[in-house]
C-alpha cells in the first residue's frame, strides 16, 4: 500500500467514565475505557481496531468523531487538533467525518422516510435545493444497491442488510474523507455480511475513502483491512500491517485471538490457545501489564511495570516485555 498523508492521529489519548457516587453526588470510581492510546491513520487506507467486547474500541471511534471528549491526549484530524474544540467549531468538520453504526435499526429514525434520513446531512451542511437533494438521494440509493422507489418507505419496511445500506448511503451524502464503521456488520446474517463488506470495499475505491473499521471478528477484519490495531483492556497492545499481523503475531493476546479464527480447510489443524485467568477490572487496572494475569509468558517485570510500545520490525509495534 502506498503510504499517504495522515488524516487522523491520536496521541496518548485516555478516557474514563464515572461509576458510583458518594452521598454528595461526586463520582467515587471510574471505568478506564481507553488508556494512553496512540496511532495514525493514513489517507485511503482501512485501519481496523479489534478486540473483545468492552476493550475500548468503540469508545476510541467515538473519540475520533468528537462524540466523546478524551480526558487527556490529543486528537488530530486533517492537521487540526480537535479534542478540545467546541461543537460549533466541530460542525464544519463533520461533513468530512461520518459514522456507520452497529445497529442499523437503532441508528435510523423510524418516523422519517428514507429520503428524509439520507438528505438530512445535505440540509445541515449544504445549500442545495430540494430538487438537488432528491437527485443526490436517488443516486446514492442506486450506488448502495437500492432504488429510487425505496425513498418513500420507512425503516421498518426493510431488512437488516437493507437498513445498513441506507446507513451507508447517509454517511456518503456529503462526500466524507473519513468513515468510522463501528461493528457495521455484526448485527447482520452471515450471508449479508459479505455483501456489505464488498460494498464498502467498492465504495472506498470509487470515492477514495479512508475507513476506521471497528470489529471483534478477526476473520471479517482480514477481508477489509490494510493495518490492524489490537486492543485489550483499553490499551493498544499490537499494531501492524494485516499481512504481518496474521503471518507473525507477536503479542500473546494477538496470538490467542488469531488461534480462534476458523480455517476453511478442514484438513488443516491449528492449535487453539485457551486463555486462563480472569480479565482484570477496568475500574482497578493492574499496576503492570494489563494482560499479565492471563499470559503464560508473564514474569516479575510484567506484574510491576507497564510495557512500552516498541517497533519489532518496520511498521509492526507491540507493547510487551517478553516480545
Alpha helices in 185-241 (DSSP H): 190-207, 218-224
User: 47 - beta bridge partners?
Assistant: 212, 227
Mean pLDDT computed over 15-30: 87
How far is 105 from 197, CA to CA, in rounded Å? 18
Q: What is the pLDDT of residue 27?
A: 84
How far is 12 from 276, CA to CA, in rounded Å? 30
Tell me: the pLDDT tens digits for 179-214? 999 998 887 788 788 888 999 999 999 999 999 999
1: confidence class by pLDDT, cuts 50, 70, 90: very low
Domain ranges of the chain: 6-96+176-319
Q: What is the pLDDT of residue 313?
A: 94
Position 2 pLDDT exceeds 50: no
* Burial status of residue 58 (CB atoms within 10 A of its CB: 0-12, 13-18, 19 or more): buried
Tell me: the pLDDT tens digits for 289-311? 999 999 999 999 999 999 999 99
Tell me: the pLDDT tens digits for 98-151? 999 888 778 899 999 999 999 999 998 999 999 999 999 999 999 998 999 999
Neighbours of 275 (CB within 10 A): 17
Q: Give Cα 170 distance to the centre of its chain.
A: 18
Q: What is the pLDDT of residue 4?
A: 66
Q: What is the pLDDT of residue 186?
A: 84
Tell me: the pLDDT tens digits for 240-295? 999 999 999 999 999 999 988 877 666 766 778 888 888 899 999 999 999 999 99
Q: Which CATH superfamily is domain 6-96+176-319 in?
A: P-loop containing nucleotide triphosphate hydrolases (3.40.50.300)
Mean pLDDT of the chain: 92
Amino acid at each position: 500500500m502506498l503510504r499517504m498523508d495522515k488524516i487522523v492521529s491520536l496521541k496518548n489519548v485516555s478516557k474514563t467514565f464515572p461509576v458510583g457516587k458518594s452521598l454528595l453526588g461526586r463520582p467515587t470510581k471510574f471505568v478506564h475505557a481507553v488508556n494512553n492510546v496512540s496511532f495514525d491513520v493514513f489517507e485511503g487506507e482501512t485501519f481496523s481496531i479489534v478486540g473483545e467486547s468492552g476493550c475500548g474500541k468503540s469508545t476510541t471511534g467515538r473519540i475520533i468523531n468528537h462524540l466523546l471528549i478524551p480526558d487527556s491526549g490529543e486528537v488530530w484530524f486533517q492537521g487540526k487538533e480537535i479534542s478540545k474544540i467546541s461543537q460549533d467549531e466541530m460542525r464544519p468538520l463533520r461533513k468530512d467525518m461520518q459514522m456507520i453504526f452497529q445497529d442499523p435499526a437503532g441508528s435510523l429514525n423510524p418516523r422519517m422516510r428514507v429520503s428524509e434520513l439520507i438528505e438530512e446531512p445535505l440540509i445541515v451542511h449544504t445549500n442545495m435545493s430540494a430538487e438537488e437533494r432528491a437527485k443526490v438521494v436517488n443516486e446514492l440509493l442506486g450506488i448502495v444497491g437500492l432504488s429510487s422507489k425505496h425513498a418513500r418507505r420507512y425503516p421498518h419496511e426493510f431488512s437488516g442488510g437493507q437498513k445498513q445500506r441506507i446507513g451507508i448511503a447517509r454517511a456518503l451524502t456529503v462526500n466524507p474523507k473519513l468513515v468510522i464503521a463501528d461493528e457495521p456488520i455484526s448485527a447482520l446474517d452471515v450471508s449479508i455480511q459479505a455483501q456489505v463488506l464488498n460494498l464498502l470495499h467498492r465504495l472506498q475505491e470509487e470515492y477514495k475513502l479512508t475507513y476506521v473499521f471497528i470489529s471483534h471478528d478477526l476473520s471479517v477484519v482480514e477481508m477489509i483491512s490494510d493495518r490492524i490495531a489490537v486492543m485489550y483492556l483499553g490499551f493498544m497492545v499490537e499494531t501492524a500491517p494485516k499481512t504481518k499481523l496474521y503471518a507473525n503475531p507477536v503479542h500473546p493476546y494477538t496470538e490467542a485471538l488469531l488461534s480462534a479464527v476458523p480455517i476453511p480447510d478442514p484438513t488443516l489443524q491449528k492449535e487453539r490457545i485457551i486463555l486462563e485467568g480472569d480479565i482484570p477490572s477496568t475500574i482497578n487496572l493492574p499496576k503492570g501489564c494489563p494482560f499479565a494475569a492471563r499470559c503464560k509468558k508473564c514474569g516479575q517485570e510484567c506484574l510491576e511495570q507497564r510495557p512500552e510500545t516498541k517497533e519489532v520490525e518496520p511498521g509492526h509495534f507491540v507493547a510487551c516485555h517478553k516480545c
